[in-house]
């Protein structure tokens, strides 16, 4: 069930109405059942994977809290192994198997490795990480183990952020499920406005840009160099508008029921450095890696060289988290390398004059734009085709419509400017609620692209 679908609209109206109609004691059950329904609407059988990890982590949480010493650690490891095991099996088995096959064939050994014919469960990486953060926080003593299995299941399954985040922390979410949320008109209106804004970004911009990007990346050989460059430029914005739109719809849907999810994006393309970019892009994931991988590796409190190695490890794993393809790994590796390079530069030339802000923003954008090529292409062969296409040196745009290109540029500029000046997460509507919503609905209808495009991050 996609957020930009009529199916979701009906689901959302039904669930939200029932939420405020039911007494507080029964709300968790409603949200849990609704979340299961939301997930089942994609591929029903995969709900069992979620239920499996929920059962493991629920038991592990209580066991970690009750025990001490080695036993405590053992339960944490069991939880990590179970969660990562599911992730590896569904997401990385074929990747490792195929690459092992290639490696073996280099040594003249049999490369007949098994390949699984399975579809990746939607949002697997997101809910696995969210579940993991619970057991880790219980182990660290920052969170009490949740005794109510329904509430715990809801923490993992909560429908607004189930399939594409934000990846929440138990300290932020679990207590919210016990709080009484009365209907608040202002909150409700803000939530609706936020959701409408998210839908506008998804169907008016992101899906419009996809009309350029998707065919080019499917058959790059058919397009000119300038068309490939333009498509890649558009992809940088497509993925931002697509993913931030999802986060905003999720935020809005939860907010109007009284829940507060974490902020996931903060105009990342206005960053002046790559490290700033990562404080503003997919914040819930970057902070997850910081707290559960970078810090345990030693963070900044180790030797300089070790810091660089840690950074590379974190970003390579982050790339792999996105998908079992070399393109994602290279994308992560590039960002790691950018950060290492920036730290080296600061260390070697501490007094170097800084560039004008506009130039810094442009450089950071260009660096991220370059890395997106690998991310979007996915495989090494596809990446090669894209670079080959760019290098061919043909500069016409025979397949694109100039008016549409200008239209897309205008949209990018207008929406980016709006987001720069007004923080989307603080949108409030005190007056003219209905005219604003109607205006957004009209814009969405007339300029929207309704092709049932999934959100890009659903695949992760």
Partner 1 sequence: MKRKIKLYIIALVSLGIYFWAGSYKCMSIFLNDWNNEKRPELLKLDNTMYGDLYGLSYLSKYRMEGAGFYAVPDNLPVEKPEGKIYIIGDSYLAKMFLKDTSSNLYKTELAAFYWFGLSEKADPVKLEKGKKNILLIEMSERFVRSRFTSKSRVKSIMETFSTDTRVTKKKVDLLEWRIVPKNIEQNIATLFFGYRMFGSIKETKADFSYYAFNRCDPQVYVSEKQQRLYFSNTIDTLEITSAFSVISEKEVGQIVNNMNAISEHYRKIGFDEVVFTFIPNAASVCSPGTYPYNKLLPEIQSSAELKADFINVYDAFRTSPDPCNLYWKGDTHWNASGYLIWQNLFNEYLKASYNPEEQLSVFPLQK
Contact set for partner 1, span 257-286 (CB under 8 A) = none
Is residue 29 a contact residue for partner 1 (CB under 8 A)? no
Binding residue for partner 1, selected from 43, 302, 414, 438, defined by CB under 8 A: 43
User: What CA–CA distance (Å, rounded) separates 91 from 85?
Assistant: 10
- In terms of Cβ atoms closer than 10 Å to its own Cβ (0-12, 13-18, 19+), residue 143 is buried
Is residue 40 a contact residue for partner 1 (CB under 8 A)? yes
Binding residue for partner 1, selected from 48, 407, 420, 422, defined by CB under 8 A: 407
Sign of dihedral through CA atoms 271, 277, 283, 287?
A: negative
Of 17 and 142, which has the nearer Cβ to partner 1? 17
Least separation in angstroms between CB 159 and partner 1: 15
- Tell me the window of 40-48, 85-93, 223-231, 257-265 that interacts with partner 1 (CB under 8 A): 40-48
Q: What count of other Cβ atoms lies within 10 Å of the Cβ of residue 240?
A: 26
Is residue 7 a contact residue for partner 1 (CB under 8 A)? yes
Is residue 451 a contact residue for partner 1 (CB under 8 A)? yes
CB neighbour list of residue 422: distance below 8 Å, 6 or more residues apart:
none
Least separation in angstroms between CB 7 and partner 1: 6
Of 338 and 400, which has the nearer Cβ to partner 1? 400
148 is catalytic: no
Residues 345-384: x/- map of binding to partner 1 (CB under 8 A)? ----------------------------------------
120's tokens: 């990746």
Binding residue for partner 1, selected from 247, 387, 404, 453, defined by CB under 8 A: 404
Binding residue for partner 1, selected from 24, 29, 44, 175, defined by CB under 8 A: 44
User: What CA–CA distance (Å, rounded) separates 79 from 137?
Assistant: 12
Of 6 and 391, which has the nearer Cβ to partner 1? 6
Contact assessment for residue 318 and residue 285, using Cβ atoms and an 8 Å cutoff: yes
Is residue 33 a contact residue for partner 1 (CB under 8 A)? no
Is residue 6 a contact residue for partner 1 (CB under 8 A)? yes
User: What CA–CA distance (Å, rounded) separates 105 from 196?
Assistant: 53
Q: What count of other Cβ atoms lies within 10 Å of the Cβ of residue 262?
A: 18
Can you say whether residue 109 is alpha, beta or left, with left for phi > 0 and alpha for psi between -120 and 50 degrees? beta
Least separation in angstroms between CB 345 and partner 1: 44
Is residue 18 a contact residue for partner 1 (CB under 8 A)? yes
Residues 194-213: x/- map of binding to partner 1 (CB under 8 A)? -----------------x--
- Tell me the window of 37-45, 149-157, 223-231, 374-382 that interacts with partner 1 (CB under 8 A): 37-45
- Tell me the window of 125-133, 163-171, 403-411, 419-427 that interacts with partner 1 (CB under 8 A): 403-411
Binding residue for partner 1, selected from 106, 305, 403, 434, defined by CB under 8 A: 403
Helix, strand and coil content of the chain, in percent to the nearest 5, comes to: 75, 0, 25
C-alpha count within 13 angstroms, C-beta hemisphere, residue 53: 28
Of 152, 149, 145, 129, which Cα lies nearest the Cα of 63? 145
The 3-class SS string of 277-338 reads HHHHCCHHHHHHHHHHHHCCCCCCCCCHHHHHHHHHHHHHHHHHHHCCCHHHHHHHHHHHHH
Considering the candidates 127, 208, 282, 322, report the single residue annotated as catalytic.
322
**Exposure b/e, 18-56, CB count within 10 A at least 16 = b:** ebeeeeeeebbebbbebbbbbbeebeeebbebbeebbeb
Binding residue for partner 1, selected from 112, 179, 182, 452, defined by CB under 8 A: 452
Contact assessment for residue 230 and residue 372, using Cβ atoms and an 8 Å cutoff: no
Of 298, 335, 300, which Cα lies nearest the Cα of 317? 335
- Tell me the window of 15-23, 302-310, 329-337, 382-390 that interacts with partner 1 (CB under 8 A): 15-23
Least separation in angstroms between CB 404 and partner 1: 4
Q: How many residues bind partner 1 (CB under 8 A)?
A: 26
Is residue 434 a contact residue for partner 1 (CB under 8 A)? no
Residues forming contacts to partner 1 in the complex (CB under 8 A) are: 5-7, 10-11, 13-15, 17-18, 20-21, 40-44, 211, 401, 403-404, 407, 445-446, 451-452
**Residue positions annotated with a catalytic role:** 322
């Amino acid at each position: 069930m996609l957020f930009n679908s009529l199916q979701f609209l009906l689901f959302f109206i039904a669930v939200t109405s029932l939420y405020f109609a039911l007494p507080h004691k029964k709300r968790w059950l409603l949200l849990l059942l609704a979340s299961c329904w939301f997930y089942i609407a994609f591929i029903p059988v995969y709900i069992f994977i979620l239920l499996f990890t929920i059962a493991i982590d629920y038991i592990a949480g209580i066991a970690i809290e009750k025990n001490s010493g080695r036993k405590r650690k053992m339960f944490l490891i069991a939880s990590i192994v179970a969660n990562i095991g599911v992730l590896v099996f569904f997401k990385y088995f074929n990747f490792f198997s195929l690459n092992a096959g290639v490696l073996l064939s280099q040594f003249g050994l049999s490369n007949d490795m098994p390949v699984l014919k399975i579809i990746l469960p939607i949002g697997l990486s997101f809910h696995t990480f969210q579940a993991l953060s619970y057991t880790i926080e219980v182990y660290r003593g920052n969170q009490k183990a949740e005794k109510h299995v329904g509430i715990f299941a809801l923490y993992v399954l909560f429908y607004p952020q189930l399939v594409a985040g934000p990846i929440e922390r138990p300290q932020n979410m679990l207590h919210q499920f016990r709080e009484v949320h009365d209907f608040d008109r202002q909150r409700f209106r803000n939530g609706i406005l936020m959701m409408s804004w998210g839908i506008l970004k998804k169907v008016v911009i992101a899906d419009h840009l996809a009309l350029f990007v998707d065919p080019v990346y499917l058959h790059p050989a058919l397009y000119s160099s300038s068309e490939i460059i333009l498509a890649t430029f558009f992809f940088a914005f497509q993925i931002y508008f697509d993913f931030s739109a999802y986060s905003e719809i999720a935020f809005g849907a939860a907010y109007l029921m009284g829940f507060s999810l974490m902020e996931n994006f903060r105009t990342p393309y206005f960053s002046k450095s790559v490290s700033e970019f990562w404080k503003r892009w997919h914040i819930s994931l970057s902070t997850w890696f910081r707290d559960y991988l970078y810090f345990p590796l030693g963070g900044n409190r180790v030797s300089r060289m070790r810091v660089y190695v840690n950074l590379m490890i974190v970003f390579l794993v982050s790339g792999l988290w996105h998908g079992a393809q070399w393109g994602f790994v290279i994308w992560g590796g590039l960002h790691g390398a950018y950060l290492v390079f920036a730290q080296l530069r600061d260390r070697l030339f501490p007094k170097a004059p800084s560039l004008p802000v506009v130039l810094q923003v442009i450089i950071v954008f260009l660096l991220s734009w370059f890395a997106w090529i690998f991310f979007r292409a996915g495989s090494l062969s596809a990446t090669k085709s894209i670079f080959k296409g760019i290098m061919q040196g043909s500069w016409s745009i025979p397949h694109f419509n100039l008016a549409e290109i200008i239209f897309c540029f205008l949209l990018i500029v207008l929406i980016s400017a709006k987001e720069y000046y007004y923080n989307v997460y603080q949108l409030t509507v005190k007056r003219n609620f209905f005219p604003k919503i109607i205006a957004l609905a009209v814009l969405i209808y007339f300029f929207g692209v309704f092709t049932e495009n999934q959100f890009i991050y659903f695949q992760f």
